Every structure is written in structure tokens, then in C-alpha cells.
Amino acid sequence: MEANKLWRFLVLLTGVAMISLVSWLHLPSLSNKEVLNCNLYSGWCISKNRFYSSARPKEIKNPSSSDHQSEIPQHPLDPLTVQEFNRVRTILSSHPLFKSSSSYTLNSVVLEEPDKKLVQKWRKGDPPLPRKASVVAVVKGVSHVLTVDLEISMVVSHETGSSSGYPIMTMEDMVGVLEVPLKSSEFNRSITKRGVNLADLACLPISSGWYGTPVEENRRLIKVQCYSKEGTVNFYMKPIEGVTALVDMDRKEVVAISDDGQNIPVASGANTDYRYSIQKLNGELRLLNPISLEQPQGPSFSVDGHLVKWANWEFHLRPDPRAGTIVSQVKVRDPDTSKLRNVMYKGFTSELFVPYMDPTEGWYFKTYMDAGEYGFGLQAMPLDPLNDCPRNAYYMDGVFASSDGTPYLQPNMICIFESYAGDIAWRHAECPITGLKVTEVRPKVTLVVRMAAAVANYDYIVDWEFQTDGLIRAKVGLSGILMVKGTTYENMDQVPEKDYLYGTLLSENIIGVIHDHYVTYYLDMDVDGSENSFVKVNIKKEETSSGESPRKSYLKAVKEVAKTEKDAQIRLKLYEPSEFHVVNPLKKTRVGNPVGYKLVPGGTAASLLDPEDPPQKRAAFTNNQIWVTPYNKTEQWAGGSFVYQSKGDDTLQVWSNRDRPIENKDIVLWYTIGFHHIPCQEDYPIMPTVSSSFDLKPVNFFERNPILGVPPNLDEDLPVCKAHDSA
């Protein structure tokens, strides 16, 4: 087995750079089991040149997921197993492309989903569908896409990328470039000139975007900027402003060093360390008695492999290196027929766009696309039990491939839990006007599926929340640490009227730069079947005719079925409102309404950048809030398959502008949540979470309120609890 070859990567955190020394050691043979057991190594452990944190952060009992070695797929959409990853490696190792090349990277190895129609037909107990892997590899600077058939142990398809851009970076790409600038004495001089000891350097790999310059052609470029970690774990608050290295990612060479020569002082970093161990020393702030979500009879959900069942819901859940969390075959049980009904075939965060609003030399390129560039799932570190998720949460691991194809474990990457905030699912109280004595109230309990991806400084908390009334809420929380800019200013009274800071002075020598966040969701709705239509229900002012009514006006709902894609390119307008329905035009309720789900936007923001600005062109999927496309297996990533250094030739906007028919078709709905973020001092040195969400809500999907029959909480339902220390 390939996995018997194990490489060890030593990371010495001391030395001239944060990642200073790469050492390849040939280790003795280990069983597969040991490959995945990080506890064999201290600190970070590695399969070949791959990092991950040492085992689970705390003891969590998930018996079903404790041993990934023997896992076999139970469902056609289950992710590749450890054994399957290893078979992919074996198959690839004998393929001419990799045999003949001394250096290559596997940028992505994931399940190639079987045909949607086959998956839809498949039932538990049926023979398993043939398993395939989709592999993206970079060989000598060229991107290859291969399909590996695990049944017949063969590469059955092999193409080279046709659009601009490169595949998602590997973790090894990101880490590997960090030491490169240190080979440059020019770079080192720029650092030391600013009073920073090279031993205190912490550097970040910053995707360089694409700006149409000759230097960008035919090579993978990345920018490296550094910080001082002297005195704080929060090095982000100590930027070494004005120094940027442009690095060739494949050759690991410095292309250029940029130094603005301003020698802006590095901020002191005082009081920026946010760790509790440090706060305890400074005097902790204990505001609250313990509070906990308790379920003495245990949670109400079950997880069988990747199949989650809860209340009236059933869905498939899998971790993905690029999307993070993928929910599939989302079905809800109809209380009238007791049958499961399809709602959504697949939903995930397809792409992110995070443009910073500073056009100057050291900042203009910061226009991140976190899923396609960094891997939203790759950056989802283990969740902290009791804090990231409440008690009784179930934790699902990710099993991903490192750049040589070796599988590794991303433990506790997703959690699943029931939430009860004290909210009300429905209620009515009669009042004395009617003289009836009725008060009926039902508490609202939901199921949350959560992932938290920390793409370097920023933390994205990505929730899928299911309500018993049929509503699905997709929610994004932003926390983590700001990307800040060094400045000579220590107080706003030093700033001349004319000087625009591109942000807010947060502390002495620190500016929080204005930026946006966009998270674009892929929502393959299948409302009671695959053939659906998108209907705008426009809410329009109608004037009454003279003498018709004492009223002059009222609002009228006017339905407009989108025939082609351009009919469904939608910018939200408060004063031209619509509801956005995905209906099954052939399936009607008893009284004749087409069954449907509606998209309900929440608070959001729109990108205002010039559509021809290179970053906006690459992120053209943010040009509208809503899009609808016909289902096409290859159109899943809103910024294109190859986003890194892409030119914007393969975006959702490009596909949608083909203006294909979408009426009564298998359609995909796209929605973008946006945030404008003008930083404020409260975001320093670590940000309180800001959230936004949208809902997918049944609209004439059920015959009536589907949770009419649920009981209220009664005294005898609730637990009897004692404080831990008096137990």
C-alpha cells in the first residue's frame, strides 16, 4: 500500500522564519490505522507534507466516526473513504501523466457524484452505485482534470483545463511559499529596517488576483506579507506595512519585492492577545452563571454514516474541501401522507468574494475568493466542543487528500445539534374582546449543521438550520480577526482633513480597512421533483379607479414566470419588492396552488464595484443577488472551476448570459449574502460575530401548517438539573 510510505515534515517554530526548515524523513512502515493517528507525533502531524492538528481537541464520543480506516461508503453521495483515497493514489501512480513526472500536486481529490438521476432512484438496500473520484492535478504548470473509476481501477477521463485560472491551492502550496521571500536579502533588509526581528516573523500567503499584466501570464503567483508575532499570538494586529513579496508558487522563487519605503512603525500589539490564558492574568470578566441546552433523553436526531434524520427532516451531509459543507437530498416529511418529499437536491456555499477597499500598492490585490482559492473546507479547523456547538452535538470528521493524495483527517469539522433559544414556533392567545379563553403556544426547536472555517484571519461560521415548519435557514456568521493596515497615526486629530484612511483608526498605528464579504450559495432546488419553475411574485402598487373605493391604492401580487435565465437575474429593491418562488407547476395542492418553496432574503449588501474592475469581473457572480440556471453538472462553482488567477471567463454571470430556458426544468437557484464592513474599535483585537441569513420557506408546499399537531412543553417534559459541582 502506498500509505506505508510515510513522510514526516518537521515544523520548527523557532528560527529565522515561522516555517523555517523543511526536512524529509523516511519513516518505518506503519499500518493505515497509524497513518491517521496523529497522536503518534507531537504537535502537528503530517502525512507527507501535510499539517493538521493533533487529534480531537477534547474527548468527544462519536462511536460511528471513531475509525475511518474500515469505513465503506453506504450512500452514493458519501465522500471518498480512506481506502478509496488510497486506491485512487495507487491507480494514479501507474498513470502515464504521473509516472513520467517527478513533480506534481493533486489539488483536489473528491467524490465524483454519480448522475443525479441515478442517485435519485437509488434506495437503501440497492446495490451500491459505481464509485468514482474526480481528481484535479497540476503537472508542470498545467491543470488536469481526471476521473478515476474505482470499480475498474482506471482513469476513464482526462482533460486539461480550458478556462483561465488555476485550481484551488493545496495546503502545501500555501505553506510552501511562506519561506520563499526570506531567500531575498532585499526582503530581509526591508523587514529588519522596520525593527522586526526575523525570528518574530509570521507571514501569510495572499492570493494575488488577476489584473491583466504580462507578469501574471503562465505562472501561479502569490503575494506574501508578514507580521510580527512579538509579544502576542495575534500577529495580525502587528502588520509590517509596505512590504510585499511576489512569489512564483511553483518555482518557489521571488518574482519581485515591493517596499514603499515609508517605514511605517509596527504597532505595539499591547492587549491584543485574546487567549483566555492571557485574559485570566489580566482579570477575567465573569458576567454570567452557566447556561446550557439540556436534553436528558438525548438528542432527537440520528446520524447514520452521512445520513441525518431529525424530526420531519432527512438529508445527506458531507464535508468537502472546497465548499466546506454539502447538504444533499434534503427531504421533509408531509404530516398528511407521512411521505418524504424532495425540497433540495444539493446546497452549499459555492464561492466567497472578499474585496478590500484600498487601491494602494500593498492592498489593491486583496480580493479573496476563499472557496476556490483557499478551500473553505480545508480551512475548517476542529470545532471547540461546548463553545462552537452546545452539548449533545454530534461531530463529523472530514477525510481529505493531501497534495500527494494521502488521506488525512480533519477531525470534528462539522457539528450537528438541536437549538432552542426560547423562541416560539407558533402561538395564539384570545383576548377579552372575543371572550374565548384560549392560549396555545409551541416552542421552536431547530436542527443546526455548523462548520467554522478560519481563512487565515477571518472566521466564517456557516450554519444550515432546519425548522420543523419546513423552513431552511442558511446563515453566515463573521468573526475572527480583521485584516489591518499599519499607519503612522496614533490619533484621529493627527489626520489631515484631506487624508483618507481607507478605514477606521482602531488603535495606535492600526487601521481597520473597509471591505465587503459575499457568500454565494448554490441551491439545486427540487421541489417535489426535478422539473421546477422560478416565479417572481411582484408586489405592485395598484391605483383604484375613481369611485371604486374610498382607498386610492392597494398592493397587488402579480406573478411572472421566468422563461429564461436573464428573467431571473435579480437585484433586490425595497421599493420594487417581489417574492421569489421555486414551484413545481405540475404539482398542485388540494385547492389548486402550485407547490413551492420561496427564497426569503435577509439583511444583505450588494457589490458596488465597477463591473469592469478586474476583481469584480472575476466575482461577477455578485452582480446580482439572485440567479437561476438550468441544472448542469459542470456549473457548480460560481467563480468557475479554476478560480485562482482566473480572468472571469467561467463565472455564473457568463453561464447565465447564455439565457437558456429555465421554465419547467431542473433548475438551480443561486443567492448571495453580502456584508459591507466598515471596521470599528469593537472589532479590535477580535470581532464579535456579525450574522446574516436567508430562508428557504415552504409556500403552498404543505396543505396547511405542518406542525399543527406538535405538543407544547409541559412541566414533566423538562429535565431536573443540578450544578456540576453539587452533582
Q: For residues 324-353, which are near a copy of itself according to CB under 8 A?
A: 335
Stretch of 94-102, 110-118, 136-144, 273-281 lying at the interface with a copy of itself (CB under 8 A): 273-281
User: For every residue of 348-396, which 3-state class applies, written as one string?
Assistant: EEEEEEEEECCCCCCCCCCEECHHHHCCCCCCCCCCCECCCECCCCEEE
Burial label, 174 (beta-carbon count in 10 A; 0-12, 13-18, 19+): buried
Collect all residues with Cβ–Cβ distance below 8 Å to 349 and sequence separation of at least 6: 323, 324, 325, 371, 376, 462, 476, 519, 520, 521, 522
User: How many Cβ atoms sit within 10 Å of the Cβ of residue 694?
Assistant: 23
Show contacts with a copy of itself in window 663-722 (CB under 8 A): 676, 678, 680-689, 698-722
Measure the CA–CA gap between 266 and 488, rounded to whole angstroms: 9
Helix (H, G, I), strand (E, B) or coil at 667: strand
Stretch of 112-120, 128-136, 491-499, 630-638 lying at the interface with a copy of itself (CB under 8 A): 491-499
Is position 479 an interface residue for a copy of itself (rule: CB under 8 A)? Answer: yes
For a copy of itself, the binding residue among 193, 508, 632, 657 (CB under 8 A) is: 508
CB nearer to a copy of itself: give 97 or 425. 425
CB 247 within 8 A of CB 254: yes
Closest distance to a copy of itself from the beta carbon of 675 (Å):
11
CB nearer to a copy of itself: give 97 or 514. 514
Show contacts with a copy of itself in window 96-155 (CB under 8 A): none
Burial label, 689 (beta-carbon count in 10 A; 0-12, 13-18, 19+): exposed
CB 651 within 8 A of CB 498: no
Show contacts with a copy of itself in window 388-407 (CB under 8 A): 388-391, 393
Measure the CA–CA gap between 95 and 331, rounded to whole angstroms: 40
* 404-422 burial code (b ≥16 CB/10 A, e <16): bbbbbbbbbbbbbbbbeee
Closest distance to a copy of itself from the beta carbon of 448 (Å):
6
User: For every residue of 424-472, which 3-state class applies, written as one string?
Assistant: EEEEEECCCCCCCCCEEEEECCEEEEEEEEEECCEEEEEEEEEECCCCE
Is position 171 an interface residue for a copy of itself (rule: CB under 8 A)? Answer: yes
Closest distance to a copy of itself from the beta carbon of 566 (Å):
19
Show contacts with a copy of itself in window 286-305 (CB under 8 A): 286-300
Is position 619 an interface residue for a copy of itself (rule: CB under 8 A)? Answer: no
Closest distance to a copy of itself from the beta carbon of 4 (Å):
24
Closest distance to a copy of itself from the beta carbon of 598 (Å):
8
CB nearer to a copy of itself: give 272 or 641. 272
Closest distance to a copy of itself from the beta carbon of 21 (Å):
12
For a copy of itself, the binding residue among 491, 497, 499, 547 (CB under 8 A) is: 491
CB 67 within 8 A of CB 51: no
Residues with catalytic annotation?
Answer: 370, 458
Is position 477 an interface residue for a copy of itself (rule: CB under 8 A)? Answer: yes
Show contacts with a copy of itself in window 10-69 (CB under 8 A): 11, 13, 18-19, 43-44, 51-53, 57
CB 410 within 8 A of CB 38: no
Measure the CA–CA gap between 703 and 660, rounded to whole angstroms: 33
Closest distance to a copy of itself from the beta carbon of 625 (Å):
8
Closest distance to a copy of itself from the beta carbon of 2 (Å):
22
- DSSP annotation of 331: E
CB nearer to a copy of itself: give 60 or 80. 60
For a copy of itself, the binding residue among 112, 200, 241, 358 (CB under 8 A) is: 358
CB nearer to a copy of itself: give 160 or 714. 714
Is position 267 an interface residue for a copy of itself (rule: CB under 8 A)? Answer: no
Amino acid at 352: L
Q: In 3D, which of 449, 450, 445 has the Cα closest to residue 423?
A: 445
Is position 382 an interface residue for a copy of itself (rule: CB under 8 A)? Answer: yes
Q: In 3D, which of 48, 26, 165 has the Cα closest to residue 104?
A: 48
For a copy of itself, the binding residue among 276, 337, 498, 634 (CB under 8 A) is: 276
440, three cell numbers:
396555545
Is position 217 an interface residue for a copy of itself (rule: CB under 8 A)? Answer: no
Stretch of 77-85, 156-164, 375-383, 642-650 lying at the interface with a copy of itself (CB under 8 A): 375-383
Show contacts with a copy of itself in window 568-587 (CB under 8 A): 571-575, 577, 579
Measure the CA–CA gap between 675 and 607, rounded to whole angstroms: 9
Helix (H, G, I), strand (E, B) or coil at 168: coil
CB nearer to a copy of itself: give 1 or 386. 386
Show contacts with a copy of itself in window 533-572 (CB under 8 A): 537, 539-541, 543-544, 548-557, 571-572
Compose the 425-464 pattern: x for residues touching a copy of itself by CB under 8 A, - for all others. xxxxxxxxxxxxxxxxxxxxx--x---x-xxxx-x-x---
